[in-house]
Amino acid sequence: MDPIHQYLLSLLLPFLAYKLYKKLTLRLPPGPFPWPILGNIYNMSPVLFRCFADWAGFYGPIISVWFGSTLNVVVSSSELAREVLKENDQQLANRHRFRSAANFSKDGKDLLWADYGPHYVKMRAVCTVELFSPKRLEALRPIREDEATSMVESIFKNCTNPENKGKSLVVKRYLESVVFNNITRLALGKRFDSMEGVKGNEQGSELKAIAANWFKLGPSLALAEHIPWLRWMFPAFHKEEEEEASFAKDRAMMDELVKQIIEEHAIECEKSGGEAKKHHFVDALLSVKEEYDLCDDTIISLLLDMIAVGMDTTISAIEWAMAELMKNPRVLQKAQAELDGVVGPIRVMTEWDFSNLPYLRCITKEALRLHPPTPLMLPHRSNTHVKVGGYDIPKGSNVHVNVWAIARDPTIWKSPLEFRPERFVEEDVDLKGHDFRLLPFGSGRRACPGAQLGVNLVTSTLGHLIHHFDWALEDGMKLEDIDMGERSGFVAHMRSPLQVVATPSSRPCLRVPKVWNPMGPREISMLGSACLLSLDSGPAGDSVKRDPLGWALLLLLILGVVEPRPAGLVSVADCRPNPSLGEDTS
């Protein structure tokens, strides 16, 4: 052996000996045997949360999984989730960033991919205090209700078209439009997509495509992250480099698009002398830019987090809920009966109705339990050596919480595989991370700050779908034919998009002729609510029994100025940007 090789070997051997010593002396969680260099890559199935749940059934609720030479610890019980997310929260609050995620987030300048530290604390304060406060969510409520009404009209036009009689529709298509419009109007004050599926403009098309592509980055791509030399040694991995380059290009395009919108809002604010409406998230961020010392990259990254993450997770949650309702007609009928009793036949549901719709809220919870949008929580990275479940977690390890497995644990849930919303009537379980049996929005320092907005969007959209329409499978299709499998990726979408037949419900609803109606669906809903409450004999009705708005509307109905229509919807052409909220009306 020549001197150079001897020298290199002398440097390498102590390092290898140290690594071996550390492995032998640490008490790591059990798990499948890792192959040299590759770890457990070839043992994994594409849907990782199911794979890890199967391994947990064999090895126990805490397991070691090796992505190349990187240790990933997966916990699958509520007790261990508490240790990770509460007792060791600060030590496990960092974030492992895949290369594509690092490019997309400008190396953690957003909230989602930032390490725990001063920047993350500041970003979380911005989100909690400025963006997702109860006051701002209430100010933006009309947008959410407008979009829900627009979705109902679009589905009505489709299913009443004689050419579509008896044909199924792809639920996800309508969910994509309503959620995209909701998120972009809330975040940017712009509405890009029409409910007929026609793109509003090129900006909207680009934004929607890029946002949809964000969550295509899944753990399968991340496997090569931990074996860097595979990228140049094997041509098969060159495709992943191309995908990362595509991600960088997408981010650059997104930057330009959002910068244009930010400039428009800044100019509008300057023209009004700072008196312009500041309801939307972009306006809120611009108004506190100096107070929180926010740079443009940070503002853009925060907005992109909301658009990309908010879109995919909300669409997934609603589609899964609809699939479960189709497989459980008893639950669907019970929910429709509740909506008929509370909302009634002459108006549309609003978020103010939620407190009187406990069963609908339980359906949302049960759907998020059985089908959490991110079933395998994004990895927490240890910033120091910690112990979880009595096992060693070395510094630099990634820790995942298998939310999906915990939500189906038979030791903490009765009949865990059954879709039974009544379980949440019997016991009120918190959704926001305080109860470690149910963690759709995470918990602790890295919990989702927009959880309440997400719950409102899911509940509102779901309520409108089941109140205004009856749903059935196409002729010849059985309940067992609904594919309840998941696609791989960070967000667990249905493997096969849900296709069902919608027919307008026979329950009549208010129709206001355009010649008389200067108002939008929000105002109509408020009048309808007043009317219903005036006639209600329950406690809520007692407080407004003499409401003049309600009786005035009732009088208009009697006189025929307004008339019922068996369509189950309010007759408004389409939701337009709301000038009172400072939205772009061009």
Instruction: Kindly give the pairing relationship between strand 398-401 and strand 70-75.
Output: parallel
Compute CA distances 565 → 327, 333, 513, whole Å.
30, 22, 11
Instruction: Kindly give the pairing relationship between strand 380-381 and strand 169-170.
Output: unpaired
How many angstroms separate the CA atoms of 467 and 447, rounded? 32
Task: Report the amino acid identity of residue 506.
Answer: S
86-99 per-residue burial string, b: 16 or more CB within 10 A, e: under 16:
eebbebbbbbbbbb
How many angstroms separate the CA atoms of 380 and 113, rounded? 10
Nearest residue to 98 via CA among 73, 74, 72: 72
Distance of CA 307 to the CA centre of its chain: 10
**Structure tokens of 577?**
């940007």
- Quickly list H helices, 357-481: 358-370, 403-407, 423-426, 451-468
Is position 295 annotated in a ligand binding site? no
305, 132 Cβ separation under 8 angstroms? no
Dihedral sign of CA atoms 363, 365, 366, 371 in order: positive
Q: Classify 469 as helix, strand or coil.
A: strand
Burial class of 111 by CB neighbour count within 10 A (0 to 12, 13 to 18, 19+): buried
Backbone angles phi, psi at 161, to 5 degrees: -70, 120
143, 186 Cβ separation under 8 angstroms? yes
How many angstroms separate the CA atoms of 354 and 351, rounded? 5
Task: Report the amino acid identity of residue 520.
Answer: G
Nearest residue to 402 via CA among 432, 365, 436: 436
* 451-468 helix and 141-159 helix, angle to the nearest 10 degrees: 30
Give the sheet arrangement for strand 469-472, strand by strand: 169-170, 499-504, 469-472
How many angstroms separate the CA atoms of 119 and 125, rounded? 10
**Structure tokens of 16?**
């290898």
Would you tell me how many other CB atoms lie within 10 Å of the CB of residue 491? 23
DSSP designation for 489? S
Residue ranges at the known binding site for heme: 448
Binding residues are 448
